[in-house]
Chains A and B, each alone.
Chain A
Amino acid sequence: MKLLDFLKRERKKSASVAKERLQIIVAHQRSQRDQPDYMPMLERELLEVIRRYVEVDQDAINISLDSEDDCSILELNVTLPNRS
Chain B
Amino acid sequence: MARIIVVTSGKGGVGKTTSAAAISTGLALKGNRTVVIDFDVGLRNLDLIMGCERRVVYDLVNVIQGEAGLNQALIRDKRTENLHILPASQTRDKEALTLEGVEQVLEKLSEDYDYIVCDSPAGIERGAQLAMYFADEAIVVTNPEVSSVRDSDRILGLLASRTRRAEQGQDPVVERLLITRYNPDRVDSGDMLNLDDIQEILAIKLIGLIPESEAVLRASNSGVPVTHDEQSDAGQAYLDTVDRLLGEEKPLRFHQFEKKGFLSRIFGGGRR
Contact = CB atoms under 8 A, between A and B. Distances in A.
Given A14-B190, A15-B193, A26 B201 contact: yes
A15 B201 contact: no
Interface string A22-37: 1101100110011000
Interface residues of A, number: 15
Interface string B189-201: 0111110010001
A30 B153 CA distance: 8
Interface residue SS majority, chain B? helix
B207 to A, nearest CB: 20
A26 B203 CA distance: 11
Q: For the complex, would chain A's binding face be called helix, strand, loop or mixed by DSSP majority?
A: helix
Given A13-B190, A15-B191, A15-B193, A23 B201 contact: yes
Contacts of B187: 15
Interface in A32-49: 33-34
Interface residues of B, number: 18
Nearest to A21: B146
Given A18-B146, A23-B201, A29 B193 contact: no
Given A15-B197, A29-B157, A33-B157, A22 B150 contact: yes
Nearest to B146: A18
